[in-house]
Structure 1
Amino acid sequence: MKNEQNQPLPAIKCLIVRLQKASLLLPLNLMAELVDGNQLSPSTHPGVEGWLQWRNRQIPVVSLESLCMLEDETLSNEGKCLILHTLSPMAGLPFIALRVRGGLNTLEILPDTLRDDHSGNVQRCPYVARQVRASHLLCFIPDMPAIEAVLAEILQLSAEQPHAPLNESQG
């Protein structure tokens, strides 16, 4: 495809956040808010670390490292939760929260400057779309649709969608 004006591709505004043992690279427009993660309600669902009360909603909190089985121990309540807009059109899951450490760094990345980096990648995690270098930092780009799908399955959201009441007089 010929670009007569030779316009460069636009930079993508991204966010880099620390995880337990890695960093995460996300488009900035997915972020809703970074909040304190100390007050989680317990979860009975395996895979969901807890529930965060945020803006009159219960948001499921997950850890990418737990999903990828990179961390054996249960994470403490220390740290932050990054609340993200979901990409899936499920009414029951408009937001999810990822367990993170520390603050946020923003970065503008040109799409052609990301380089895949498979160093230290022992096993392929189905919840990581790519492992790249950004600003000399090894980062995971999460596969948000896969994370949202497994969360919906764990929470059985399809079964909990509101249904119209049945009218017993109709036969």
Structure 2
Amino acid sequence: MKHSYEPAIKSLIVRLHKGNLVLPLNLMAELVTGSELAPSMHPGVEGWLHWRNRQIPVVSLESLCMAEEAGESDEGKCLILHTVSALPGLPFIALRVQGGLNTLEILPDTLRDDHSGNVQRCPYVARQVRASHLLCFIPDLPAIEAAVAEVLQLTAEQREPLLSE
């Protein structure tokens, strides 16, 4: 009998205001202090972070899920991620996080689905799991990126008339 070997996925566990996220480590670009955000008038985008000569949209999973009003975290940190969707003009997004990063190697049997306290299903959360005894969310990054891209498209449409005047 042949056993198939599935390699562990190096992952991050990052703290949110209420809860934790699990993300593949290879998506992380940098963890930065994001206290100086340019304001955003769009729901779902908390602000814009100037990072390496780019403006990166900052989102909060909790705000997107309407779990709470968009609010500053105590520490004002942003986790800059490479996007997973091939959306033009959106190579990075930033997630509002708290604290530092913990790494974890995830094997196929490491994560256990956990539906406790899952009163309201959020379209931006792919799974709610237990990892290292912590309740964690696996974000639906394509859905988050599509929502941000939609906001950016609206922004571009609103700016076009100004350019043609």
Give TM-score, length-normalised by structure 1.
0.86
1:90-169 correspondence runs (5 A): 90-156=87-153
Deviation at 1:92, TM superposition (A): 0.9
- 5+ unaligned residues in a row in structure 1: which ranges? 161-171
Partner secondary structure for residue 129 of structure 1: strand
CA distance in 1, matches of 2:26, 2:120: 29
Structure 1 partner of 2:56 = 59
Structure 2 partner of 1:34 = 31
Deviation at 1:114, TM superposition (A): 1.1
Give TM-score, length-normalised by structure 2.
0.89
CA distance in 2, matches of 1:155, 1:66: 17
User: After TM superposition, which residue ranges in structure 1, 4 or more long, deviate above 6 angstroms?
Assistant: none
Structure 2 partner of 1:23 = 20
1:152·1:158 contact (CA, 8 Å) conserved in 2? no
Percent of pairs with identical residues: 79
How many residues align? The count is 157
- 5+ unaligned residues in a row in structure 2: which ranges? 158-165
Structure 1 partner of 2:41 = 44
Alpha-carbon RMSD: 1.7
- List per-residue Cα deviations over 1:67-103 (Å, max 9, x = no partner): 0011135335732100000011112100000000000
AA partner of residue 124 (structure 1): R
